[in-house]
Structure 1
Amino acid sequence: MLFQRVKPLDQILATAEKKSLKRQLGAFQLTMLGIGAIIGTGIFVLTAEAGQKAGPGMMYAFVIAAVVCALAALCYSELASMIPVSGSAYTYSYGVMGETIAWIVGWALVLEYAVAAGAVSVGWSGYVNGLLKSTGVGLPQFLQTGPFDGGGFNLLAFLVALVVTCLLVLGTSKSAKVNAVMVCIKVAALIAFIVVALPAVNKVNFEDFTPTGWGSPMGGIGVLGAAASIFFAYVGFDAVSTAAEETKNPNRNIPIGLIGSLLVCTVFYLLVSYGAVGAIGAKPLMDSAGNALATGSQALAAACASPAHINDLVCSKEPLAHVIRELKFPWLAGAIGMAASLALPSVILMMIYGQTRIFFTMSRDGLLPEAFSRVHPKFHTPHVITLITGVFVSLFAALFPVGILADISNAGTLFAFIAVSVGVMVLRIKDPGRKRSFRAPLIWLVGPLAVAGCLLLFANLSGKTLMVFVVWALIGLVFYFAYGYRKSHMNPANAHMLEPIPAAMPAEPKFHEGPQA
């Protein structure tokens, strides 16, 4: 059952050729999209959560997460260059391991993209609320955070997700141009932070480097627990692969966008985290038994509200601006807060973009209603599913805190990364002769290490997060067997809906690029 209905790769390519999106993105735009998707809430907001889980050991967490992502990026690059269509890990799994596995992966990607978009929206609202508070014109507390974080309805997070959704409906190329501007703003803010924070680094702040240890499975604390959370800071590079069907010369440009954006962001993250910890410290808050208080808990919120800890890095909703403010550069802190407020929407944009392209492809395969793959006659975007996704993302953002959303998103992402890493190795055996414009080096070392790294981080998510993932997967399986299994184009009863496999697919498929926007 699990490995049935494997969709031939040539048929996947033929389906994409029949009902495809316009190809309009180049290597630079893809790299900028990747940077736009990666640099966001992870570094601007979750630095505080990582500090609470691991103290200065968050430096190790950034390195561990980066290594796991780099291994997965090599696997993604090989598959994306072979199968340059929308759908990312879902499409790759369909062509290698079968429909049921593909469905589970596609369903898990909802956690990666839609929930992540909600998390970034919440992170954005934290910076904007901080700016409003500094001017004396702030929203009531009830409208600043959701009901699980001491408020009632996060109004700003709700609104920003809706605005980004409307932008995506208007068109991909327009979104990419706006994204490029936002990326420049974010990079400028991080450079300014690095220039000010690095000279203020004090080695004393690194003395108790791992105050919470390395962590334990399902504990969510320690260096590995922080790595499992800070992994969110790198989520997004794989969103580049969801743009494969809208990319010019995807066999060349997708690997460039994936690996290039990941390398750029890793360098920035290590410098920023070193500056943040070294400048003002990152001491976790402990309970009476000497255990670190759980992030997102009422106990931590109460401790952070006390005068003794209100200025601690681990308590800040806007940690980078907070560090600069503590270094007595209030004007620059305001500027970084403003930059985050202007630039974080680019991450929301890329996350919602990735989610809609996953759903678009699943609909095109018959696993979701056909309406989800309708393309707007004027804007040439999948407008129906974009609007539906945007509404749900807005509600996630309005109701849940950033830490919970980020960890749930990581569970889906890690599962997808495992599927892609396994898929590359399976395809090397099943179809060794297929043209690979990019080949992951040392695949029998890289692939197993990628799987092992993802499993390690997955196991170090909190028990509650893992429970949410299991429940979500079960809900997905119920929907699949109730609808997708019957409606799938791979169902023999629906075989007439499949695109015929061409007698001879070209070694390197060519697609119509369509008019430029």
Structure 2
Amino acid sequence: MIEKLFRSKSLETLKAQAEEPEHQLRRNLGTFDLTMFGIGAIIGAGIFSSIGTAAAGHLADGRLPAGPALVVSILLVAVGCGFTALAYAELASMIPVSGSAYTYAYATLGELMAWIIGWDLLLEYAVSNVAVAISWGDYARSFLANVLGVHVPGWLAMDPRTALQLLPASPPMGLGAKLHLLAQARAGLADGGAVFANWQVLRDAPLVAGFPVTVNLLAVVVTVGVTYLVYLGIRESARANAVMVVLKVLILAAVVAIGARFINPGNWHPFAPHGFGGIQAGAAIIFFAFIGFDAVSTTAEECRDPGHSLPRGILLSLGICTLIYAAVALVVTGMLKYTDLAGKADPLAYIFSQNHMNGVAGVISLGAVIATTAALLVYQVGQPRIFMAMSRDGLLGPWFGRVSPRHRTPSNATLLTGLLVAIPAALLSIDEVVELCNIGTLFAFSVVCAAVMILRKRRPEAVRRFRMPWIWVFAPAGILACLWIAKGLPAVTWIRFFAWLGLGLVIYFAYGLRNSALHTRTEEA
């Protein structure tokens, strides 16, 4: 039994499976495309929304503010991600197979760990895309209202939990008590505005059996549209992503160039108001803005020359985004006191509106819409290819691995990913998914750093078109960096993470263990 759990796949087997005609994808991508995919994935909801929370913190939840030292948080996270990016680059050049960290774990740590990583990657790709879709809905609604004068009703732009939130001064109450109070307020027997934080939304929302119907419709619309584009083909997705990346980089460059004229150096004092503790807390939050460079590796089977292009795409995208993030952080904390950023969902637009530049604020809102669309696109590309790799190995059913004969994309997995993102995005709040996504990604990054060291020992003769420098220093440093960032996450996130892994293990032992392709081959032999 123990041997089954830790059986691994050879590099030769992994490559051979990718070349099977029924599994082949269309090879269209080069270094430029992969770099654009990486930037498209990294620059998304994170820099446009979480930069304010990372700088200002949230003391009620135990999150210390980084203050102007957020730029240090960004650089430390970039260094930690850089170690992991080097590990991804070496593994991607060795194993040019869709599946990312899941495939690397299968080749080194065995089937059980591969399943855990594959299940864990759902947190990074599908679950993080829920957060991206929600953020897209918020920015799109703001842009439609403030720039185009189109107002989306609040009950069509908010999840049920957020809609039913109470004001801070209100006493805590359960769902039943909230619905009873809502019924009284709707009947004019109570003051809903004195209790509910989003009373206007609840007042206008239709009721079903006394429950207010609220849904983030915009998040659903963009998810459906992006999923359809990904279904059509990787070439179409790459072209659309490249256009969006150019636009959002230009907008962020404009933010830095214009905002630099309004910097007040006094806002940078104190630089680190809560010392290293605040810097670590800021790193734990801003890490969400760095997730994505690893998504490049999921397109390995669609690269013309993966050994050459994958490492360059991964490292270039991370380096470019780090420079942009550091510049934006310095401008943001220089234009406005970091404490004024608390609770701001659109901090970049807010800062410019505070400086009476509403036109610039509107352009920034457009940039956020473009940025989150591109990030949504890349993650929707990544998750189906992981499903496909797990299906090939028998850990998921063959339905997940079906490739469209016409479009040469993993069709069923793409449509399923669309559902897995659209439904939660319609009904959940962004706070419930961001930190869970962070811890899942940190776990996967740690495994990749371990995998690259294991293969150096097990397969030193294997062809590596890119080699991680100083591997016995950088790879352990990558693991320690992930642990340091994860330490800044609240305890409830860890509890949810282990509950998620527990659910995944139940599915593995119920289905994956018995249907594994390695298990089938062993029985046939």
Name the TM-score class by shorter chain: 0.7 to 0.9
What is the match of residue 515 of structure 1?
none
1:137 aligns with 2:114: no
Say which SS state the counterpart of residue 403 (structure 2) adopts.
coil
What is the match of residue 178 of structure 2?
none
Say which SS state the counterpart of residue 253 (structure 1) adopts.
helix
In structure 2, C-alpha distance between the alignment counterparts of 1:130 and 1:317, rounded to whole Å: 11
496 and 37 in structure 1: CA distance in 2 versus 1, 3 angstrom threshold: farther
Larger deviation, residues 371-380 vs 249-258: 371-380
In structure 2, C-alpha distance between the alignment counterparts of 1:453 and 1:192, rounded to whole Å: 32
What is the match of residue 102 of structure 1?
114
* 1:285-364 alignment runs, 5 A limit: 312-364=340-392
Say which SS state the counterpart of residue 347 (structure 1) adopts.
helix
494 and 172 in structure 1: CA distance in 2 versus 1, 3 angstrom threshold: farther
Say which SS state the counterpart of residue 315 (structure 1) adopts.
coil
In structure 1, C-alpha distance between the alignment counterparts of 2:395 and 2:114, rounded to whole Å: 10
In structure 1, C-alpha distance between the alignment counterparts of 2:343 and 2:163, rounded to whole Å: 14
What is the match of residue 200 of structure 2?
none
In structure 2, give the amino acid aligned to 1:178.
A
Identity %: 43
In structure 1, give the amino acid aligned to 2:12.
D
Aligned partner of 1:410 among 422, 434, 438: 438
190 and 496 in structure 1: CA distance in 2 versus 1, 3 angstrom threshold: farther
What is the match of residue 163 of structure 2?
150
CA contact (8 A) 1:489 1:495 kept: no
Unmatched 5+ residue regions in structure 1? 216-221, 284-311, 498-517
Larger deviation, residues 455-464 vs 130-139: 130-139
In structure 2, C-alpha distance between the alignment counterparts of 1:279 and 1:169, rounded to whole Å: 42
Following superposition, the deviation at residue 493 of structure 1 comes to 5.6
Show CA shifts across 1:159-188 (max 9, x none).
111111111111110010000000011101
330 and 399 in structure 1: CA distance in 2 versus 1, 3 angstrom threshold: same
Following superposition, the deviation at residue 495 of structure 1 comes to 5.6
Say which SS state the counterpart of residue 377 (structure 2) adopts.
helix
1:251 aligns with 2:264: no
In structure 1, C-alpha distance between the alignment counterparts of 2:431 and 2:380, rounded to whole Å: 19
Larger deviation, residues 65-74 vs 2-11: 2-11
CA contact (8 A) 1:487 1:494 kept: no
Aligned partner of 1:180 among 242, 263, 267: 242
Following superposition, the deviation at residue 383 of structure 1 comes to 1.1
Following superposition, the deviation at residue 147 of structure 1 comes to 2.4
What is the match of residue 50 of structure 1?
54
Show CA shifts across 1:85-124 (max 9, x none).
1000000000011000111011110000001111111111
1:31 aligns with 2:93: no
CA contact (8 A) 1:86 1:241 kept: yes
Following superposition, the deviation at residue 213 of structure 1 comes to 4.3
CA contact (8 A) 1:84 1:244 kept: yes
Following superposition, the deviation at residue 403 of structure 1 comes to 3.3
In structure 2, C-alpha distance between the alignment counterparts of 1:28 and 1:100, rounded to whole Å: 35
In structure 1, C-alpha distance between the alignment counterparts of 2:491 and 2:341, rounded to whole Å: 25
Aligned partner of 2:13 among 7, 11, 14: 11
Say which SS state the counterpart of residue 96 (structure 2) adopts.
coil
In structure 1, C-alpha distance between the alignment counterparts of 2:321 and 2:452, rounded to whole Å: 25
103 and 164 in structure 1: CA distance in 2 versus 1, 3 angstrom threshold: same
382 and 494 in structure 1: CA distance in 2 versus 1, 3 angstrom threshold: farther
* 1:116-515 alignment runs, 5 A limit: 116-134=128-146, 135-150=148-163, 152-215=214-277, 222-283=278-339, 312-492=340-520
CA contact (8 A) 1:282 1:313 kept: yes
Following superposition, the deviation at residue 29 of structure 1 comes to 0.4
Show CA shifts across 1:18-50 (max 9, x none).
122121100000000111011111101111221
In structure 2, C-alpha distance between the alignment counterparts of 1:136 and 1:183, rounded to whole Å: 26
In structure 2, C-alpha distance between the alignment counterparts of 1:400 and 1:494, rounded to whole Å: 44
Aligned partner of 1:77 among 67, 85, 89: 89
Following superposition, the deviation at residue 494 of structure 1 comes to 6.0
CA contact (8 A) 2:53 2:341 kept: no
CA contact (8 A) 2:24 2:408 kept: no
In structure 2, give the amino acid aligned to 1:252.
H
Unmatched 5+ residue regions in structure 2? 58-64, 165-213
Number of residue equivalences: 463
Rg bigger for which structure?
A: 2
In structure 1, C-alpha distance between the alignment counterparts of 2:115 and 2:271, rounded to whole Å: 42
Larger deviation, residues 319-328 vs 237-246: 319-328
Following superposition, the deviation at residue 460 of structure 1 comes to 1.5
What is the match of residue 44 of structure 2?
40
Show CA shifts across 1:348-395 (max 9, x none).
011111111111100111100101110112111111111111111012
Following superposition, the deviation at residue 136 of structure 1 comes to 4.3
Question: Over the residues paired in the alignment, what is the CA RMSD in angstroms?
Answer: 1.6
Following superposition, the deviation at residue 400 of structure 1 comes to 2.3
Following superposition, the deviation at residue 207 of structure 1 comes to 1.0
What is the match of residue 187 of structure 2?
none
Say which SS state the counterpart of residue 490 (structure 1) adopts.
helix
In structure 2, C-alpha distance between the alignment counterparts of 1:246 and 1:136, rounded to whole Å: 42
In structure 1, give the amino acid aligned to 2:53.
E
CA contact (8 A) 1:45 1:319 kept: yes
Moved beyond 4 Å, runs of 4+ = 492-497
In structure 1, give the amino acid aligned to 2:369.
S
In structure 2, C-alpha distance between the alignment counterparts of 1:341 and 1:357, rounded to whole Å: 25
CA contact (8 A) 1:154 1:397 kept: yes
Say which SS state the counterpart of residue 33 (structure 2) adopts.
helix
Say which SS state the counterpart of residue 393 (structure 1) adopts.
helix
In structure 2, C-alpha distance between the alignment counterparts of 1:182 and 1:396, rounded to whole Å: 25
Show CA shifts across 1:272-323 (max 9, x none).
011011101211xxxxxxxxxxxxxxxxxxxxxxxxxxxx322222211112
Larger deviation, residues 262-271 vs 400-409: 400-409
Following superposition, the deviation at residue 201 of structure 1 comes to 1.3
